[in-house]
Structure 1
C-alpha cells in the first residue's frame, strides 16, 4: 500500500470559511471510482489549508499522488463548498493541470 498527500489552499474569501473534514471525505469518496484503488483517506483542516492523505493499492506512490491530485482538482472545480480553494502543486507530481 502506498500513500500520498495533497494540499489545498484557500484564496480570497475562502480564507475565512471553515470546512468540515468529514464533508470533504464524503465528497472525495463520491468522486472516487472503485478501480482507483483508494483504500482510505484522511483529511485535516486548518485556517486556509486542507491536507488530504490518500492510501491506495496503486502500483506506486506516484500513481497515488496523481490520483489524489485529480480527485482534489475535480472536487475543487465541482463542489460549491470548495469555491475559492486551489490544489497546491507538488514538486515531482505532475498531475492534471500541473507542469
Structure 2
C-alpha cells in the first residue's frame, strides 16, 4: 500500500472556503474509480485549505501518485462544492525524515 498527500486551496476567501472534513472525504470517494485502487482517504480542513492523504493498493508508487492526482482533478471538476477550489500541491510522498526513502503505508 502506498500513501500520497495533496493540498487543495480555495481560489478566493469567503463563502465556500470553509468545508467539513467529512464532506470533502465524501466528495473524494464519489470521484474515485475502482481502477484508482483507493483504500482510504483522510481529509484535514482549515479555512481555505484541505490537506488530503490517500492510501492506495496500487502496485507502484507512480501508480498511487497518478491515481491521487486523477481523483483530485475529478473531484474538483465534478463537485459544485469544490467549484472555486484548486490543487495547490500535487500528490506527492508525505514528508519524511531525510534519507528515509519511500513511505509504504
Fold conserved between structures, TM > 0.5: yes
For normalisation by structure 2, the TM-score amounts to 0.76
| CA–CA separation in structure 1 for the residues paired with 2:61 and 2:5 | 10
Counterpart for residue 44 of structure 2: 44
**Alignment: residue pair count:** 93
Q: Which runs of 4+ in 1 moved over 4 A?
A: none
| Structure 1, unpaired ranges of 5+ | 94-99
Higher helix share: 1
- Normalised by the size of structure 1, how large is the TM-score? 0.80
Are residue 65 (structure 1) and residue 44 (structure 2) matched?
A: no
For residues 33 and 91 of structure 2, the distance between their equivalents in structure 1, rounded to whole angstroms, comes to 25
Deviation string, structure 1 residues 69-97 (Cα, Å, up to 9, x no partner): 1111111122111121101243879xxxx
Return the offset for 1:10.
1.2
Residue 90 of structure 1: aligned partner: 90
Contiguous gaps of at least 5 residues in structure 2: 94-105
Instruction: Provide the alpha-carbon RMSD of the alignment.
Output: 2.2
Q: 32-41 or 42-51: which moved more? A: 32-41
Larger radius of gyration: 2
